[in-house]
Structure 1
Amino acid sequence: MRHDRLPDGFGVRIDPRVRTYSGGRLLVGGTPTRLLRLAPEAAAMIGDGYLEVTDPASARVARRLLDSGVANPRPRLLPSLEDVTVIVPVHNHTAELNRLLSALRGHSVIVVDDGSDQPVRIPDSQGSRRRVTVLRWDRRQGAAAARNFGLRAAATEFVAFLDPDVVPRAGWLEVMLGHFSDPKVALVAPRILAMDPDSTLLARYEHTRGSLHRGRRESAVQAHGPVPYVPSSALLVRRHALLAEGGFDESMPAGGDIDLCWRLDRAGWRLRYEPAARVAHSNPVTLRKWFAHKVVHGTGVAPLGQRHAGMAAPLSMPIWTAVTAMLLATMSGWGVFGGVLTLIATLFRLRRVFAGLDNPTRVAAIYMARGFSGGVWRLASALCRHYWPVTLLGMLCSRRIRHIAITLAMADGLADWFLHREPGCLDPTRYIACKRVEDVAYGTGLWWGALRTRNAAALRPTLPPN
């Protein structure tokens, strides 16, 4: 039986994107956007946006804020580093492994040699306070099996998984460990950045928009959320939670990390992405290898669609947004008229939802505009990424579709660059070029995986009513 009460001293901070009304009793935000109503006593506990757990009542309010997605954790308690074992699955990456081990001084490490051509030999660690155990298989069984082997061999409460081609930065473990003072948290992931971002064009792109990069904002990890999953290249997990869920699925050559995140979430555990903890990842070597990696990543979606109904959909948007976008895209008088009527009907429906606010019409209009613009952006991105073969076919058949598709591709690329840009990042032209090549690679893998499994679940969008 799990005891899920947050400990005294644990804090939560209202997310800066959340809007408060009526003296803090009504909060609008989260993913998906929701209206959270608090009792006056609960609102008074939050004060300037921060709540510290001091008793059962404040613990209940803090839990509700966290589970609603309107607040982020601010733990003050820190489990011991001695309670963590680092597991490194390796196959023929001796140089990378030695580089990683040199950064793991003072940690207990289990290296799982997954059938390397030459057995792994650990260099002398005298004076490093590093404790390294090597477990070897004579025949390669895959990274998922190697991680599970190390998981079962560990004896500590927490386990960190690191691939040999990553190097953690100082303080990475301490930042993530604090989250486990919440007894419902089973997994925390760091921000993964390029190891040498200035070396090549691809490295500069991967530094800001790589498939391992989950962004700059802290977040809960949830399907269809801003961070739907985190990669297995660097993870910190609660060992007994992972064992209870059977560990990594060894039958999945791709997408196993996504499957693990969704299984843990379905079991009632909480997962967090913590960008303050940073891990560097080796840069891609060649365009060919980079492209092939993106294709493989896409092929893993079809098995996920079979296992997790509706969660692997390439596009999720409210049905009113989809209907409005299609009507306006016709560029006809009746289409525009129908789109405007749909927006007006949505505005009145949202106004009833926000009826308890001071100016419900204004608030409803703001969130309707945000919802529609966000939905159109997701649609444009999906047409360039997941559905690019369909978009290409339409471009070949119609000049109007060709003009619309090119405009959407440029607008989506510019918006994506603006959102993810960082100092020293690529200029918009090269960024958009890299983004579109990545989208073609991922979309190719997505369609190939769907054809290979003869299952269209990974291609089918979801259109919830709200």
Structure 2
Amino acid sequence: MSEDPHVVLDRRTRVLRSGGVVRVLGGDPVTLITPSPAVSDLLDGGEALSIDTPAGAALARALTDRGMAHPAGGAAGARALGAVAVVVPVRDDAAGIAALVKALAPELARGLHLVVVDDGSTPPLESPMLDTAHLRPTPAPLGTDTPGTVTVLRHHHSRGPAAARNAGTAAAVAAGMEVVVYLDADVIPLPGWLDVLLARLDDPRVAAVAPRIVAADPGRFWVRGYETARSALDMGPEPARVRPRTRVAYVPSAALAVRPDRLPVPPGGGGEGPFDERMHVAEDVDLCWRIDAAGGHIRYEPAARVAHRHRTSVRELLGRRAFYGRGAAPLADRHGAAVAPAVAAPWSLAVAVGVWSASPLGSVIAAGAIARAWWRTRQLTGNSSAAAELVARGASASIWQLPAALLRPYWPLTAVALAATAPSRSRAARGLRRRVVVAASAEGLWHWWTARDPGSLPVNEPVGHVVLHRLDDLAYGVGVWRSAWVARSVDALRPELTR
């Protein structure tokens, strides 16, 4: 573990006591563990668990590895940064680089090294473009102790962000850097961001850690409001262990700190660095999943934050979402079911279908599936309320996942069904159209409601959010289907039914 004095239980974790036996239920995926009696008393302290004893550290490790708890606190103070390099891939954004260098001035003064990889900018990005009132880039070689050292590497032709990050990583590793932090040119780190990330990397099992990416210019209305509330780069306000098919399945490389010696290289000739240079989209998702498959841990740490210049036009927003969708087929080719657009157990699927059918028979089926799931979960946990909470959580997720799937990756099939029934005035056809409209509105409002973060972000207005959410889903679905067509494979569209 790191030097943090304690870990904090995840808000979904429950400590169950029955007949003198203590069990812990939680994590992602949900797990039930029974600590030994010698350490179970350590869980009597409430939400926090001290790790200042060997027993406490061992229990904390078991909990954090499963996502049941998360490290708390940060570094004891500002540390020297002579072994840390920030790598920035950039193309045609000299103004963004200048703003980023200015924001990094406090860290550069503490010895941080900056590697800017110009990926074919026109005109080329030169060191004088980086001048600010706080820093004068020097030609000093990377790895010296001179504060404010900036190295500019250049690709004469654009090779993509993966190749640019690999080139910067190679330069940093050759200079003896122990930590590499990837930042995009359109982000601005907020105070205290780096020390928290470095504290998490002190854990020998952690290969990478990501901060929360928030809006540089928060808003409440239309595109700015939507991006503030639901940016594809913002993984939310709660910490997590990052794993495929969990609440935080990946973290973006727009801001990511790594230990380069703990990163796997892509198989099959994808380049000599950690990123697969054959991928020009979703290369960060691929890296996260390869790290996890290799046994490394990735943490998401919202206590560290960087601000991102979000897109403010509908065209830019939807174009970017469609671009993200194009990563589905390459990811499916490399990671199989991890990229499944919908995952459900039979009981939860029965609940979702029963609820959205809005029929007496559907209600009976849903109620029966919930009752059976609660009974089996109660047998496993020995706790009725914990079983009810767990089943309610799973049922709710499945209920909202069904319309989300039909309106996001599978929207072309939904559109075909609506077009086929459009001429019909039958009761069944009218019911189908009505259910689609209700589902589109209700799921959109749920998407808005769960994104509300009044504590730190403006509360977005709902109408524009729902409209943009539906357009967002359409654009992403276009990208997914395009990727499947190019790959001549439906793997990225295949749902998965779990036990």
Aligned pair partner of 1:51 in 49, 52, 59: 49
Paired with 1:54 and 1:197, the residues of 2 have a C-alpha distance of 40
| 1:181-227 CA distance string (max 9 Å, x none) | 21111111111122222397312211110111111111111111111
1:309 is paired with a residue whose SS is helix
Aligned counterpart, 1:182: 203
Residue type of the alignment partner of 1:63: R
Q: Is the 8 A contact 2:75 2:196 kept in 1?
A: no
1:271 aligns with 2:298: yes
Aligned counterpart, 1:65: 63
1:366 aligns with 2:389: yes
Give how far 1:42 is off: 1.5
2:85 is paired with a residue whose SS is strand
Structure 2's unaligned 5+ residue stretches are 136-146, 267-272, 422-428
Aligned pair partner of 2:415 in 392, 395, 411: 392
TM value normalised by structure 1 = 0.92
Paired residues, what number?
A: 456
1:448 aligns with 2:494: no
Give how far 1:127 is off: 5.5
Q: Is the 8 A contact 2:221 2:460 kept in 1?
A: no
Give how far 1:389 is off: 1.6
Give how far 1:67 is off: 1.3
2:339 is paired with a residue whose SS is coil
Give how far 1:94 is off: 1.0
Aligned pair in 2 of structure 1 residues 9, 420: CA closer, same or farther (>3 Å)? closer
Aligned counterpart, 1:3: none
Aligned counterpart, 2:88: 88
Paired with 1:296 and 1:204, the residues of 2 have a C-alpha distance of 21
Aligned pair in 2 of structure 1 residues 205, 127: CA closer, same or farther (>3 Å)? closer
1:188 is paired with a residue whose SS is strand
Aligned pair partner of 2:444 in 413, 416, 433: 413
Q: Is the 8 A contact 1:179 1:185 kept in 2?
A: yes
Aligned counterpart, 1:165: 186
Residue type of the alignment partner of 2:59: V
Give how far 1:351 is off: 2.2
Aligned pair partner of 1:145 in 129, 142, 163: 163
Paired with 1:114 and 1:82, the residues of 2 have a C-alpha distance of 26
Paired with 1:409 and 1:443, the residues of 2 have a C-alpha distance of 15
Paired with 1:97 and 1:136, the residues of 2 have a C-alpha distance of 14
* Identical-residue share of aligned pairs (%): 38
Q: Is the 8 A contact 1:231 1:257 kept in 2?
A: yes
Q: Is the 8 A contact 2:220 2:226 kept in 1?
A: no
Paired with 1:46 and 1:351, the residues of 2 have a C-alpha distance of 22
1:310 is paired with a residue whose SS is helix
Give how far 1:76 is off: 5.4
1:224 aligns with 2:245: yes
| 1:90-137 CA distance string (max 9 Å, x none) | 111111111111111113101111122222122346853421011112
Give how far 1:63 is off: 1.1
| 1:402-438 CA distance string (max 9 Å, x none) | 1111111111111121111244333111111111111
Aligned counterpart, 2:152: 134
Give how far 1:332 is off: 5.1
Paired with 1:320 and 1:365, the residues of 2 have a C-alpha distance of 14
TM value normalised by structure 2 = 0.86
Paired with 2:388 and 2:48, the residues of 1 have a C-alpha distance of 29
2:344 is paired with a residue whose SS is coil
| 1:35-73 CA distance string (max 9 Å, x none) | 221122211123313223334433321111111211111
Residue type of the alignment partner of 1:280: A
Aligned pair in 2 of structure 1 residues 392, 126: CA closer, same or farther (>3 Å)? closer
Aligned pair partner of 1:439 in 456, 469, 473: 473
Structure 1's unaligned 5+ residue stretches are 1-5
Paired with 2:449 and 2:222, the residues of 1 have a C-alpha distance of 18
Aligned counterpart, 2:141: none
Aligned pair in 2 of structure 1 residues 331, 437: CA closer, same or farther (>3 Å)? closer
Paired with 1:167 and 1:209, the residues of 2 have a C-alpha distance of 19
Give how far 1:347 is off: 2.6
1:264 is paired with a residue whose SS is helix
Residue type of the alignment partner of 2:170: R
Aligned pair in 2 of structure 1 residues 127, 76: CA closer, same or farther (>3 Å)? closer
1:298 aligns with 2:298: no
Paired with 1:333 and 1:119, the residues of 2 have a C-alpha distance of 67
Q: Root-mean-square deviation (CA), in Å?
A: 2.2
